[in-house]
Structure 1
Amino acid sequence: MAVSESSNNHDARQNLPKSQIEAVLSVPPMKVTDPRHVRRVSITDTDTDRGKKTNDNTIWGCYQIVLYYEKLKKEEYDDGGMFLAGWIRDSLGKALLEEPLLAGRIQRKEHDKKVLEIVSNDSGVRLYEARIPMRLSEFLALKEKEHVVEGELVFWKEIDEQSVEFSPLVYVQVTKFECGGYSIGVSSSLVLFDVLIIENFIKKWSQIHNNSLSPQIEEHYNYNNKTPIFYHPILINEPPPSSVLSTTPTKKESQHTMLFKIKNSNMEQWRELAMICVEETEQILQKNIGSDFLVLVKESSSEDIKIHNFSKSGYIKNNKKVDSEIVGGNWNDFGGYGEVAFQEGNKAVHVSHWIGSSVDVGYVIIAFPHVEENNGSAVVIVSLLSQN
């Protein structure tokens, strides 16, 4: 009997390496956030939706990044991944002092279910420590063929629509490879996402890790038994509930992402800018992308984010000319993560970025920056699922 190609692909993926979670904990900011920060997230149906009901998955989706590092250079660091994970709790807590919203939670307004608030209530970023049975070089070679395998290096659980106040908005996973190399995977909810916020946070975090902890780490490794003092693998004694370990798979393989810079951007024309970039993405990728997607707009004048349910099929083009200049971009324009090191001289050997989604919906993310940021250019990220 003939075996279909899809069956072969499925069987092959069953044999892909799986990461094993060894520890999990929540990391709040080092000090209580006072005053608390609040970001308003409003959800709307546009006039192009022709009365269509708001998508129930409006607050789903995440931005994911994985940074890969080779084994720490010093011979006494037998396990580079354990070394990093053991000390990362302290530096992460310090870094969250500068971005407390990342450790916050969503609150739904009682009088209006379409209005959410992200409050920096210090509930914490969820930190996972994991191990994968493969050398770093072997994994990097494999991911070129099987992109889906990178999902083993990031943890993500979609926001619970019924209990949003209990859902973490950011997850960090430190994964150790057999060779002593490691990866740092960060997943951030799209309701938090601004092109610059995660970039700036990771850079500050690595600087804090190096500047404030390096002397302590050196001293500890010179005079102790090579076990970091912040190493607490809580799974050894008492495993957490299965809900803490269950992840939400994202459709990375069928996700197509394009980035654009918009010069002379006009926030009032977000619909037109979104449509132009979606059409450009379709033309470049030569893909049938579908008609429905979510548009997330980050305004320059406030911290607020607006989420619009949008349909290409109902869109009526505005006759007003769009004067903005639209040019192609890539993740390197906004990241520069290759220079990020959690130990001096040990820079990332590879960095991957993508928009993760567990549902059949595409995203258009438009960030209108402050004038002094990014030379006044808006950034548009189009991430849509292929329909063929």
Structure 2
Amino acid sequence: MAKSSMADLIVEGVNTTTVPGKVTDPRLSYKVSILKGAFDTNHGVLQTRMHMVVCYKKLHADDGDSGWYVGGWIKETLGKALEEDPILAGRLVTCEDGGLEIVSNDSGVRIVEARIPLSLVEFLESKEKDQIKTELVSWKDVDESNPQFSPLYYIQVTNFQCGGYSLGISCNLLLADPFRMVKFLNRWAEIHKNIAYEGEIPRTPLFYAPNFAKRVGCPPPSSIAAASNPSWTNSKTAIFDISIDEKLNSRDEICNHVVSVCIEEADDKFGLKMGPNFVLITKKPNGDAKVEKRSKEGSFGPLKSLKYEINSSNWEDLEANKITFRRDNLPIEVSHWVARNDLEGVVLVVISSPWEGKCGMKVYVTFPRANGLY
């Protein structure tokens, strides 16, 4: 079976940025509170992200059913979608008090177009599939000193030999949780199809990478970096939906107890054990995030009087398998994984707005994999 390495990936278009179609006014902002003293640096925290690879067959003989066309068209429709969710085109900025916040400053989403010397079938059947997947998504670490210059959302369109292509998504978890990210992608695909099939974008996209490559040549492969340590593609993530019979407000002990229960459930589900320390990211209904390092042992006390319902979920429930930019071409495979620059576990808690005296939470518990061992 054919092998692939970063030297094999050929980038046709890099550092293209798509911004919302209109100026965001008023600007939105999310506060990011990183617990002081919990981390030596913010570096690992700022790099926590989700990657997703969505693969499509080539169903039609015409060139319009190729990644090059999709890659060109999405640059014309993504801006429309970002008008509805402009924070995804924002950046981390340093506040006057030294804290951080994510601001919808219309700096844009980074788009990369590439090709790889493998057929789609070879990729799907390869024993090195996990290694190859890291080449199908792009990520450049957030600059800790000047985070305002670092994108938090990347999109990579990769063309396979003999047709077929993949859409690789990388999104900082401080920006959006996986469920919200997939919801945006499905909405964007809907906008894209409406515009494309109403003839509002040309048959051949204005931003058609092969035309530019013929004129200026391809950038060297070193212009794009591997998105993450391949061991993270084997990480395990358990997803839980929780309904609680009282408002959470600032009652951290309720959140802590639910996290403890979810970790135990995830341990049982995968037969794994969370390491002694893990990173806890809590996102409030207004988008603000708090990041802290926690110890699994002795951190959370029981709350016997708390009434809640917990249901296990999975990646498939996110409905990423419905993301399609052509009406008749559904994904044939979708991969998801959470990644960091270290090998500590990650727990993401997303609190929804209260309703009828209840509060909902979605909890993602990720176990990293290092050297084949959890």
**TM-score, normalized by the shorter chain, greater than 0.5:** yes
Question: Which residue, 251, 257, 260 being the options, matches 2:240?
Answer: 260
Given the alignment of the two structures, is residue 71 of structure 1 paired with residue 58 of structure 2, yes or no?
Answer: yes
- The residue that corresponds to 1:181 in the other structure is 164
- The residue that corresponds to 1:93 in the other structure is 79
* Distance of 1:291 and 1:203 partners within structure 2: 37
Given the alignment of the two structures, is residue 109 of structure 1 paired with residue 95 of structure 2, yes or no?
Answer: yes
Q: Secondary structure at the match of 1:132?
A: strand
Retained in 2: the 8 A contact 1:292–1:362?
Answer: yes
* Distance of 1:339 and 1:183 partners within structure 2: 14
Given the alignment of the two structures, is residue 285 of structure 1 paired with residue 278 of structure 2, yes or no?
Answer: no
- The residue that corresponds to 2:364 in the other structure is 381
* Distance of 2:38 and 2:106 partners within structure 1: 37
Residue type of the partner of 2:9?
Answer: S
Question: Which residue, 134, 150, 154 being the options, matches 1:167?
Answer: 150
TM-score, structure 2 normalization: 0.86
Retained in 1: the 8 A contact 2:322–2:331?
Answer: yes
* Distance of 2:354 and 2:300 partners within structure 1: 30
Given the alignment of the two structures, is residue 214 of structure 1 paired with residue 214 of structure 2, yes or no?
Answer: no
Residue type of the partner of 1:63?
Answer: M
- The residue that corresponds to 1:237 in the other structure is 216
Summarize the Cα distance change of 1:214–1:328 in structure 2 as closer, same or farther, 3 Å threshold.
Answer: same
Give 1:103 shift: 0.8
Summarize the Cα distance change of 1:237–1:17 in structure 2 as closer, same or farther, 3 Å threshold.
Answer: closer
Q: Secondary structure at the match of 2:131?
A: helix
Structure 2 unaligned segments of length 5 or more: list them: none
- The residue that corresponds to 2:29 in the other structure is 38
Retained in 2: the 8 A contact 1:174–1:185?
Answer: yes
Give 1:241 shift: 9.8
Question: Which residue, 205, 212, 225 being the options, matches 1:246?
Answer: 225
Structure 1 unaligned segments of length 5 or more: list them: 1-11, 46-50, 222-226
Q: Secondary structure at the match of 2:35?
A: strand
- The residue that corresponds to 2:282 in the other structure is 297
Residue type of the partner of 1:229?
Answer: L
Retained in 1: the 8 A contact 2:9–2:221?
Answer: no
* Distance of 1:232 and 1:148 partners within structure 2: 26
Given the alignment of the two structures, is residue 125 of structure 1 paired with residue 109 of structure 2, yes or no?
Answer: yes
The C-alpha deviation readout for 1:128-150, integer Å capped at 9, x for no partner, is 0010111112211226x642321
Q: RMSD between aligned alpha carbons?
A: 2.8
Q: Secondary structure at the match of 1:210?
A: helix
Q: Name the count of aligned residue pairs.
A: 359
TM-score, structure 1 normalization: 0.83
Quote the sequence identity (%).
35
Residue type of the partner of 2:271?
Answer: Q
